[in-house]
């Protein structure tokens, strides 16, 4: 009987880390998926706000940051474009006027629940281009 109890304990000790890793991996994937969807939705909301007549890319960036901030876990969003100098926020929003369209990009990284390496996070990317509204008589 003692040998069976010891074998069960060894089996549990070998299986536990694998089960824990699978569980944390599923949770990580779900959180990352939700944040990716939130980034895409926020970029779309910002682009829609900027396509209204008289609006500019600043409106798009502001709306995108406001919509995105409530959905991020452990990260801050800020307005910044890759062409700018200086430190970028953890999650950045860049809005550009393309003439007849508005482009909103979201980039950066969000912290991982299970950090794989030092400073490693999960990439966050969204890209939306919407045509501006044109009113004709």
- Centre a 10 Å sphere on the Cβ of residue 103 and count the other Cβ atoms it contains: 18
Q: Tell me, what DSSP letter sits at residue 114?
A: S
Instruction: Indicate yes or no: pTM above 0.95.
Output: no
pLDDT of residue 8: 84
- 10-residue averages of pLDDT along the chain (137 residues): 76 91 89 93 95 85 94 90 91 94 95 74 93 78
pLDDT of residue 116: 66
CA atoms within 13 A on the CB side of 82: 6
Asked if residue 55 lies in contact with residue 49, where contact means CB atoms within 8 angstroms, the answer is yes
pLDDT of residue 19: 93
pLDDT of residue 130: 94
Distance CA 12, CA 72 (A): 36
């Amino acid at each position: 009987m003692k040998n069976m109890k010891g074998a069960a304990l060894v089996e549990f000790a070998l299986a536990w880390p694998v089960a824990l890793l699978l569980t944390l991996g599923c949770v990580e994937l779900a959180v990352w998926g939700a944040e990716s969807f939130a980034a895409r939705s926020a970029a779309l909301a910002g682009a829609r706000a900027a396509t209204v007549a008289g609006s500019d890319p600043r409106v798009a960036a502001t709306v995108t940051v406001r919509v995105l901030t409530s959905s991020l876990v452990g990260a801050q969003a800020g307005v910044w474009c890759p062409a700018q100098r200086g430190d970028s926020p953890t999650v950045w929003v860049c809005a550009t006027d393309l003439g007849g369209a508005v482009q909103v990009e979201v980039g950066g990284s969000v912290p991982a629940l299970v950090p794989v390496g030092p400073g490693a996070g999960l990439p966050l990317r969204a890209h939306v281009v919407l045509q501006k509204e044109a009113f004709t008589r």
